[in-house]
Amino acid sequence: MSKPVCYSTKAFSAASASPPLGATTIERREPTPTDVKIEILYRGVCHSDLHFARNEWHFTQYPAVPGHEIVGRVTAVGSGVKKFKVGDKVGVGCLVDSCRTCPSCQQGLEQFCDLGMAGGTYGGTEKWLGTPTLGGYSQSIVVTEDFVLRMPANLDLAAAAPLLCAGITTYSPMRHWKVGPGQKVGIVGLGGLGHMAVKFAKAFGAHVVLFTTSPGKVADGKRLGADEVVISKDEKQMAAHAGSFDFIIDAVSAAHDINAYMNLLKRDGNLTLVGAPELPLPVAAFPLLMRRRSLSGSLIGGLPETQEMLDFCGKHNITCDIEMIKMDEINTAYERMLKSDVKYRFVIDMATLA
Ligand SMILES: [Zn+2]
Ligand SMILES: [Zn+2]
């Protein structure tokens, strides 16, 4: 495999684990025959970006360019590209590569690649150049066509950007565990993930109950589609829902008592974690045993399901609630995210990087 020619593009990067991020120039490969070159128009800001920029997962190499909720316009395609043409509106999520041959990849579950070759949009390995992959905080990106997604024409592109991570992370487990009409579904935590979970559960026809610690989020939870909002610190409100849920999606990344939620599941009910608390969560055996309840986890979604999710959002007119920022406001945005001071996702207008 000969090294492709590279070009320079403007970006915003972290030089070390200490803030702030700043403007820089990075090198990317020019499209190979199967690649699509994308001018990035908007990009959602995920909590993972912050963890990665600050090396909180202990694998970051610097300079680091985060960003995996990317939407933009195709500006060039390789000679063998079949699915996309110049001008198409496209998206790129958390993955830009995988082995393509293992059982999980063959089933379109690239996020679980059995060979551990699910290539992150950032923090992975750029297989052509042998360097770390660089994410979407930049003017353009080059991605193999199999990992490029088509954006529905009717959706606002900026508000659709966070669908590529926050959206698919909540859509996929609800599809896997067949959330639908007649079910009672709980959503724990109203942040970037939780607000999308509320919208999807409602769109799937479930009775939706949002759990939050903040009384200030009750009205917003209902506006987003929750049928009921429970203040999780209120034991009486929690007890009123004991043994009644088919499915609960837990989007909280901080330490919290999941046993309180296990007790709310029906017989054979399932609680799925999509948040990733830093420390192990203590799980009591009896709430699991007594009603054959399950505890599970879920990670983004594969490429076919991510496209299915985008098409579903186009059909049902679902986007994220966003706050648009300029590229150089990213450092302030990180500080605000740490205080949960965002409704519900920051999106960067990439024209401000010019
Ligand atoms: Zn993410
Ligand atoms: Zn694989």
Q: Dump pLDDT digits (tens) for 306-332.
A: 999 999 999 999 999 999 999 999 999
Q: How far is the CA of 74 from the centre of ligand 1 (A)?
A: 22
111 C-alpha to ligand 2 centroid (Å): 8
Ligand 1 centroid from CA 68, angstroms: 6
Q: Where are the beta strands (DSSP E) in the chain?
A: 6-13, 22-29, 35-45, 70-77, 89-92, 95-97, 119-120, 125-126, 131-132, 140-144, 149-150, 184-188, 207-212, 228-231, 245-250, 265-273, 294-297, 322-325, 345-349
Q: Look at residue 23 in the predicted model and tell me its pLDDT.
A: 96
For ligand 1, the distance from its centroid to the CA atom of residue 19, given in whole angstroms, is: 19
Residue 3's pLDDT is 79
pTM comes to 0.96
Distance 92 CA to ligand 2 centre (A): 18
Q: Report residue 196 as tokens.
A: 């999308």
pLDDT digits (tens, 9 = 90+) for 91-107: 999 999 999 999 999 99
Q: Supply the DSSP string of 215-270, one letter for each residue.
A: GGGHHHHHHHT-SEEEETT-HHHHHTTTT-EEEEEE---S---SHHHHTTEEEEEE
In whole angstroms, how far apart are CA 46 and each of 43, 69, 84, 92, 347? 9, 8, 26, 14, 9
Strands 184-188 and 245-250: what pairing?
Answer: parallel
Q: Report the separation in Å between the CA atom of 65 and the middle of ligand 1, taken as the mean of its atom positions.
A: 13
Q: How far is the CA of 123 from the centre of ligand 2 (A)?
A: 18
Asked whether 162 and 192 are in contact (CB, 8 A), the reply is yes
Question: What SS3 state is found at 141?
Answer: strand
Two structure tokens written together for 45: 């800001």
Cα of 266 vs centre of ligand 1, distance in Å, is 31
| pLDDT number for residue 278 | 81
Summarised one tens digit per residue, pLDDT across range 132-187 is 999 999 999 999 999 999 999 999 999 999 999 999 999 999 999 999 999 999 99
Is pLDDT of 276 > 90? no
| φ/ψ (deg, to 5) at 103 | -55, -40
Cα 162 to ligand 1 centre (Å): 8
Give the pLDDT of residue 1: 64
Contact 38, 142 (CB under 8 A): yes
Query: pLDDT, tens digit, for every residue of 191-246?
Result: 999 999 999 999 999 999 999 999 999 999 999 999 999 999 999 999 999 999 99
C-alpha angle 191/275/149, rounded to 5°?
A: 80
Q: How far is the CA of 274 from the centre of ligand 1 (A)?
A: 11
**SS3 of 75, please?**
strand
Alpha helices of 264-343 — where are they, by DSSP H?
A: 285-290, 303-316, 330-338
Ligand nearest to the CA of 169: 1
What is the CA(108)–ligand 2 centre distance, in A? 9
Percentage of the chain surpassing pLDDT 90?
94
